[in-house]
A and B are shown apart, each in its own frame.
Chain A
Amino acid sequence: MASAFVFLVPATASAQEAGAKPQPPAFANPGGANWTMPAANTAATRYSELADITAANVGDLRVAYTFSMGVNRGQEAAPLVVDGTLYVVSPYPNYLYALDLTQPGAPLKWTFAPKPARGAQGVACCDVVNRGAAFADGRLFFNTLDAQTIAVDAATGQEIWRRQMGDIGIGETMTMAPLVAGGKVLVGNSGGEMGVRGWIAALDTASGETVWQAYSTGPDEEVLIGSDFMPHYDQYRGQDLGATTWPEDMWQHGGGTVWGWISYDPELNLVYYGTSNPGPWNSSMRPGDNLWTAGIFARDADTGQARWFYQFSPHDVSDYDGVNENILLDMQWQGQDRKVLVHPDRNGYVYLIDRTSGEVLSANPFHFINSSHGVDLATGRLQYNLEKRPETGRTISDVCPAPPGAKDWQPSSFSHSTGLLYLPHNNLCMDIEETAVGYIAGTPYVGADVKMKAGPGGHRGEFSAWDVAQGKELWTVNERFPVWSGALSTAGDVVFYGTMEGWFKALDARSGEQLWQFKTSSGIIGQPTTWRGPDGKQYVSILSGVGGWAGAIVAGDLDARDGTAALGFVNAMQDLPEHTTKGGTLYVFALP
């Protein structure tokens, strides 16, 4: 790849010292023979203990078999493997497939077709993606685009229960992968751009009954804020801040949806998840911090009661959702043992947060940022750059990062072996140009013309190794397009990711040197996983099929001349159709 380039920065000695290296918590079981949830474990490390595939032999990796997903839309799901069966969810209409790994060529064992409402396609903001299923207790749990959560018997493919969790009539959809924690299935809604009100819900795995549901805006009673709530910073203390940090009742359409990743610490019995950006877009209509949007909640897994909250982007004006993954680690910080979480945010900072208290230990940029100057660690507040603040009727150039952020949903991986975080991310800025006429449901309006473009350097994506303790990048690989796929690291000290052109790549986890690549049929925006087959061999799996917000120009046949399509993302992706076409294929790789 002409566009791929490796920049090596020598690792500092201190990062390599014993004790400085962050450790996975005891409950963070690495992936092994099975891979039962998208992030491998509830600490979200996306790491496998398998070491058959190494830096020395990964160059021999080849396709073992493939499987057509039957849908040529953006494929963001993680293939799961449990005891000789592979499970994977397609984009809308959300087929759940089971492949029999004990048979040659991994034939189809069963298909479950949930038949979601057709109307859901018109509601989804950014392609009709699904980020996968979760396995527990012999069952698979997944969400449908029309906002249902479904439990399916993993052995037979028969439905056990289904619950209608949201209403597409008001713009609610579901795209996230559930997390199973403490006997409950945790799910949340999408649709912030439709003015819906965000929530997370915990369903009983056995019955599907809702155990608790917590909104992201509104009065404390509905946000589940009570006497357990002990946030670290003053600005989160007070009565009904989810309502009072908004004008009147704007919080009812305030966004804060829960469409990203959820983590769980069974020792603290806390779940962690981020909330999306606030709505409506015109931020001057909603003066205030707009709690509890664009931030992270820690909640008691049994009751849903909030323990702490931290807001990455108070009064967000740039679509910086706070929903990215939270990786739970244990480490020494300034001489003390701390239980931390690591969160690479859309706003461009990697946050290191004490996960018992919500205190921000560090927040360092992993991308060129001019929309803010940094994070004040005393108050926790993001320091905005007012010169780059979007305002009606004002032309502003080169706002970085663009709305998809320095990093969007694409999940990073923490290697238990190298102690580094591997970050797939974007390099995108935007221009906000003159206003243009729009119209919806018969109603005309005037909106800003947002056009995204490549950030400094001209490339649009990066894959970086991040030193959590030092809070800095060790090396990065530049890619032509945003790296919209997830990352995977293994005990073989190999890391995997895919590009939107369709290359599936393996890098040396220590040096970043590219060791192997394979060109799949379509662009890759999925989540790589690895597992041991019934034959004893280590396999690596990935979905190929471009789409998502970044790839909507191909998956949704958008007009490349209309740079404002897909909320301005098309402008940055005009050449994607020259590099890939639609697809939907599972690839499984193994050594010969």
Chain B
Amino acid sequence: MSSRFPSFLAAVLLLASAPAQARELRVCADPNNLPYSARDGSGFENRIASVLAEELGADLRYVWAPQWRGFLRKTLNADLCDLVVGVPVGLERVRTTRPYYTSSYVFVQRGDAVPIASFADPALRSVRIGVHLIGDDGANTPPVEELATRGIVAGVHGYMVYGDIAEPFPLAPIIAAVGSGDIDVAIVWGPSAAFFAARQQPVLRATPVADHDTAVPMAFAFAMGVRQGDDGLAAEIDRAIAARRSEIDAILDAYHVPRPAPSPALTTIGVEP
């Protein structure tokens, strides 16, 4: 992490000249949603928030709330915090910064299985498939939409994306089900799929969806979210992301966040700069 030294220097200079009251960066995050965030700071969004706070010379303060329906309304938009570290580009209700990574849905399989990379793979018609469900919120995860469009419904098993918040890893059960053989393939959002796939024994394989003709996008660019109208903070965050780009990338790498190369072929919402 070569960029650490200059910021350390900057911090020292700030100590010498800054007023006694340090600035506070208030971040809203889910206390139990690894790999994204956790109360003990072990999520990749926690790590990125620390880097940003350092860059801004601010003390990091968390406001914890489950990232369920109403999360933004009850936190960021209720003025309890100023920043949400990961939101998809195109999300209404927030002002997004420039995106800082793009990930995609992935197929997760056991290591000895023939890899699946496309919804057109005929194997999907004869295996047990796990998908995340949103509930009846007028929506579902893109793999659910795509499987339904293709009429692949027979072997599909649903796992609630919310998970059980009383358990330590609410997003893990669908990946554990691949390891245990309950299902043959899980089609899950990249960061959580890769994180939990790497923690299975034996390790599971995560293959990004390669289709370019899906009914709904399979790849989403992620940005940070501030309140609508908070253009000043957004500009600061944009500058901070640019300044600490390599550290942020290193954190995403350390968490195995799949980042398929931006390609016009992949159906994507948002674009990484």
* Cβ-based interface call for B145 (8 A): yes
Cα-based distance from A224 to B178 in the complex (angstroms): 32
CB distance B216 to A446 under 8 Å?
A: yes
Q: Which of B39-59 contact A (CB under 8 A)?
A: none
Q: Are A442 and B68 neighbours in the complex by a CB distance under 8 Å?
A: no
Q: What are the residues of chain B within 8 A of A564 when measuring CB–CB?
A: 92
Segment 546-592 of A: residues with Cβ below 8 Å from B: 556-559, 562, 564-565, 567-568
Known interface pairs A119-B165, A250-B158, A443-B161. Does A437 touch B33 (Cβ–Cβ under 8 Å)? no
Q: Is the CB of B133 within 8 A of A253?
A: yes
CB contacts (< 8 Å) of B115 on chain A: these are none
Closest to A287 in B: B153
B5-37 CB contact bits vs A (8 Å, 1 = yes)? 000000000000000000000000010010011
Pairwise interchain contact B88-A281, C-beta atoms closer than 8 A: no
Having A193-B137, A282-B144, one finds 18 other A-B pairs with CB under 8 Å, namely A170-B162, A195-B135, A250-B156, A278-B136, A282-B145, A286-B153, A392-B215, A392-B216, A437-B89, A440-B162, A442-B171, A443-B132, A443-B189, A444-B222, A446-B217, A556-B73, A557-B73, A557-B78
Q: What residue of chain A has the Cβ atom nearest to residue B71's Cβ?
A: A440
Is B144's CB under 8 angstroms from A439's CB?
A: no
Contacts of A248 in B (CB 8 A): 128, 153-157
Q: B148 is contacted by which of A169, A285, A562 (Cβ under 8 Å)?
A: A285
Q: Which residue of A lies closest to B192 (CB)?
A: A442
Q: How far is the CB of B40 from chain A (nearest CB, A)?
A: 17
Contacting residues, chain A, for B165 (C-beta < 8 A): 119, 169
A440 touches B69 (CB 8 A): yes
In the complex, whether B258 has a CB less than 8 A from a CB of chain A is no
Q: How far is the CB of A249 from chain B (nearest CB, A)?
A: 6
- Is there contact, CB below 8 Å, between B156 and A170? no
Identity of the chain A residue whose Cβ is nearest the Cβ of B222 in the assembled complex: A444
Q: Are B73 and A280 in contact (CB under 8 A)?
A: no
Cβ contacts B127-151/A at 8 Å (1 or 0 each): 0100011111111111011011100
Whether B92 pairs with A247 at a CB distance below 8 angstroms is no
B235 within 8 A of A: no
B138 and A450 contact, CB distance less than 8 A:
yes
Flag if A442 contacts B140 (CB, 8 Å): no
**Residue from B136, B164, B217 having most chain A Cβ neighbours under 10 A:** B136
Contact B133 A279 (CB under 8 A): yes
Closest Cβ–Cβ distance, residue B209 to chain A (whole Å): 13
Residues of A within 8 A of B154 (CB): 247-248
Contact across chains for B135 and A442 when beta carbons are under 8 A apart: no
Q: Is A171 an interface residue (CB 8 A)?
A: yes
> Can you report 24 residue pairs joining A to B where beta carbons are below 8 Å apart?
A122-B74, A171-B135, A192-B135, A247-B155, A249-B158, A253-B158, A279-B135, A280-B135, A280-B136, A281-B135, A282-B148, A285-B140, A393-B215, A437-B88, A437-B269, A439-B91, A441-B30, A442-B189, A443-B141, A444-B269, A445-B141, A446-B145, A446-B217, A448-B139
Closest-by-CB residue of B relative to A255 is: B136
Name the interface residues of A113-131: CB closer than 8 Å to any CB of B.
Answer: 119, 122-123, 125
Interface: B220 (CB within 8 A): yes
Q: Residues of B contacting A249 with CB < 8 Å?
A: 157-158
Question: Are A559 and B162 in contact, with the CB atoms below 8 A?
Answer: no
Q: Does B87 contact A (CB under 8 A)?
A: yes
Q: Which of B144, B160, B189, B222 gathers the greatest number of chain A CB atoms within 10 Å?
A: B160
How distant is the Cα of A250 from the Cα of B128 in the complex, in angstroms?
12
B262 on interface, CB distance cutoff 8 Å: no
* B160 contact set on A, CB distance < 8 A: 170-171, 194-195, 253
Q: Which residues of B contact A192 (CB under 8 A)?
A: 135-136
| B265 CB, nearest partner CB in chain A, Å | 19
Residue among B67, B145, B157 facing the most chain A CB atoms (10 A cut-off): B145
A217 to chain B, nearest CB (A): 12
Contact yes or no, A280 B164, CB < 8 A: no
State in angstroms the CA–CA spacing of A440 and B140 once bound together: 11
A325 at the interface (CB under 8 A from B): no
Could you say which residues of chain B place their CB within 8 Å of the CB of A443?
132, 141, 161, 171, 189, 192
Interface residues of A in 169-185 (CB under 8 A from B): 169-171
Closest 6 CB pairs of A and B: A447-B139, A284-B148, A437-B90, A444-B88, A281-B136, A169-B166
B260 interface residue, CB < 8 Å from A?
A: no
Query: Which residues of A have CB within 8 Å of B140?
Result: 280-282, 285, 445, 447
Given the complex, which residues of B lie within 8 Å of A285, measured CB to CB? 140, 144, 147-148, 153, 156
B208 contacts partner chain A, Cβ-Cβ < 8 Å: no
> How far, in whole Å, are A567 and B70 apart by their CA atoms in the complex?
11
Q: How far, in whole Å, are A321 and B87 apart by their CA atoms in the complex?
A: 32
Given known contacts A284-B148, A439-B87, A443-B192, A171 and B137 CB-to-CB distance under 8 angstroms: no
* Interface residue from B65, B137, B141, B161 paired with A122 (Cβ < 8 Å): B65
A265 lies within 8 A of chain B by Cβ = no
Contacting pair A445 B142 (CB below 8 A): yes
In the assembled complex, how far is the CB of residue A509 from the closest CB belonging to chain B, in whole angstroms?
Answer: 38
Flag whether A319 is at the interface (Cβ < 8 A): yes
Shortest A407–chain B CB gap in Å is 19
Q: Is A435 an interface residue (CB 8 A)?
A: yes
Residues on B lying within 8 angstroms of A by beta carbon are 30, 33, 36-37, 65-71, 73-74, 77-78, 86-93, 128, 132-142, 144-145, 147-149, 153-158, 160-167, 170-171, 189, 191-192, 215-217, 220, 222, 269
Q: Which A residues touch B92, using CB under 8 A?
A: 436-437, 562, 564
Is residue A36 contacting chain B, with contact meaning CB distance below 8 A? no
A442 touches B30 (CB 8 A): yes
Name the residue of chain A whose CB is nearest to the CB of B139.
A447
Instruction: Check A138 for interface membership: any CB of B closer than 8 A.
Output: no
B149 to chain A, nearest CB (A): 7
Distance, CA A197 to CA B8, complexed state (A): 53
Q: Give CA–CA (A436, B269) in the complex, Å.
A: 10
User: What residues of chain B lie closer than 8 Å to A169, measured between beta carbons?
Assistant: 164-167
What 0/1 readout, one digit per residue, does chain A (421-463) give for beta carbons within 8 Å of chain B?
A: 0000000000000011111111111111010000000000000
Give every chain B residue within 8 A of A450 (Cβ-Cβ).
138
For residue B170, which residues in chain A have a CB less than 8 angstroms away from its CB?
441
Q: Residue B93 contacts which of A171, A194, A286, A562 (CB distance < 8 angstroms)?
A: A562
Known: A282-B148, A436-B90, A448-B139. A441 touches B70 (CB 8 A): no
Given A319-B136, A567-B138, CB of A441 within 8 Å of CB of B153: no
Chain A 315-350 interface residues, beta-carbon cutoff 8 Å to B: 319
> When the two chains form their complex, are residues B156 and A444 in contact, meaning their CB atoms are under 8 A apart?
no
C-alpha spacing A448/B140, complex, angstroms = 9
Q: Look across to chain B and name the residue whose beta carbon is closest to the beta carbon of A125.
A: B69
Contacts of B36 on A, CB cut-off 8 Å? 442
B85 to chain A, nearest CB (A): 10
A43 to chain B minimum Cβ distance, whole angstroms, is: 31
Which residues of A have CB within 8 Å of B167? 169
Instruction: Check: A252 CB closer than 8 A to any chain B CB.
Output: yes
A517 within 8 A of B: no
Interchain CA distance A325-B65 in the complex, whole Å = 36
The residue in chain B whose Cβ has the minimal distance to the Cβ of A280 is B133
CA distance A565 to B74 in the complex (A): 13
Question: Counting CB contacts under 8 A, is A277 at the interface?
Answer: yes
Residue of A nearest to B166 (CB): A169
For A285, A443, A565, which residue has the most chain B Cβ atoms within 10 angstroms? A443
Q: Are A193 and B136 in contact (CB under 8 A)?
A: yes
